[in-house]
Amino acid sequence: MPPEAGLPLPEEQALGQPEKPIAGANRIVLPPVINLSIERLQCDGVFLLEDSMTLYLWVGRSAPAAFLTSLFGFHTMDGVDCRQVKLLAPHDDTSRRIDSILTAIRQDRRPYMNLVVMREGDPTEGRSSGNWSKTEPVSMVARTPTRNTSDTSVD
């Protein structure tokens, strides 16, 4: 996730810069948007998707343990029932930034969008992916910083 994602866009950066995706009353900078395809959903990433009714947090099997611990309180999704998963209250930089991103998106899009957490390979992934042809472009919110690709990684 880029350093500015989840934070308000400073006024001085808004002038004369290429447009960054922003949302909400506080002009929160969103993670980079990528076109959705199954190939883009990498096992070492966490992606935020929306279909105008629901927000989906897709968690790859090798998602960063520190990111998962910050958001959910556990370091792996193995054996976790995603239907029971809830985000922890914002308590550190990562969780506050993700909370800001979700809040900003919800402010801009009505009605209120529930968040559904999906794990790579989970049965709910298949049911939800049927609607993905109607989703907005996807944002990557986390990725293990071991591979050098053009995608944004978590530091």
What CATH number has the domain bearing residue 88? 3.40.20.10
Q: Would 102 be classed as within a structural domain?
A: yes
Residue 114 domain flag: yes
Domain assignment present for 154 = no
Is there a domain that residue 95 lies in? yes
What tens digit of pLDDT does each residue of 124-136 get? 665 555 555 444 5
Q: Name the residue range of residue 93's domain.
A: 11-143
At 12-71, the pLDDT tens digits run 665 555 577 888 889 999 988 877 777 778 899 898 988 888 999 999 999 999 999 999
User: pLDDT digit string (tens) for 92-124?
Assistant: 999 999 999 999 999 998 889 999 999 998 876
Do 134 and 54 touch, CB atoms closer than 8 A?
no
* Residue 22 falls inside a structural domain: yes
Q: Which two tokens stand for residue 56?
A: 């989906």
Domain count, the chain: 1
**Per the structure block, which two tokens stand in for 80?**
């976790």
Q: What's the rounded Cα separation, in Å, for the pair 126 and 102?
A: 23
19 within some domain: yes
DSSP designation for 8: B
- Within a domain: 2: no
pTM of this prediction exceeds 0.85: no
Please check whether residue 119 lies inside any domain of the structure: yes
Task: Indicate the average pLDDT of the chain.
Answer: 79
